[in-house]
Amino acid sequence: MSTTSAGAQLVLDAQALYADLISGVKGLCLPQTRLVGITSGGAWLAEQLQRDLGLEGKPGIISSAMHRDDFSSRGLAAGGQTLLPFDVNGAHIVLLDDVLYTGRTIRAVINEIFDYGRPASIQLAVLVDRGGRELPIQSDFCAARVNLAPSQSLALARDDAGHFSFKVEAA
């Protein structure tokens, strides 16, 4: 799926994209694959995928806070903390995020993963790739590609029932 927001209101069906994500992640998984979600949207996706794919154990949650290149200006975010309930050494990891933009968050969380050990592989799956990359990072699977102005932000939301939606806002 590819969408543009030029001159029109961008509408993304996060639940439909999540259904695409299920099949995409299933195609990336090996029997010993571990899911790791980036706080917060990616962590929500990892938790839901863990259940929907019938995978044993708990998914990992990873924060980019300690390895961000803008840490001095942003400070430590009040988001989640890294929790990897498995041995990273030799693990096949599918890293999950809601929106891929500049690639800086992905770089930071990969550095965080390597603080815990040396995985056999890391693959990236995202709901939406919005372009605008500043680093040479790409996903192995994305459910949709959209074009947004740099002045816009796209964020995944989750309601009390666990249903996903997207919010497009001015940055």
- The answer to whether the CB of 62 falls within 8 A of the CB of 113 is yes
Domains of the chain by residue range: 2-170
Under the banding of pLDDT at 50, 70 and 90, the label for residue 70 is: low
Options 3.40.50.2020, 3.40.50.720, 3.40.50.300, 2.60.40.1120; CATH for 2-170 is 3.40.50.2020
pTM of the model: 0.89
Nearest alpha carbon to residue 108 among 140, 139, 63: 63
- The answer to whether the CB of 6 falls within 8 A of the CB of 157 is no
Query: Other C-beta atoms within 10 Å of 37: how many?
Result: 27
Render pLDDT for 93-151 as a digit per residue (tens, 0 to 9). 999 999 999 999 999 999 999 999 999 999 999 999 999 999 999 999 999 999 999 89
Render pLDDT for 147-170 as a digit per residue (tens, 0 to 9). 999 899 998 999 999 999 998 888
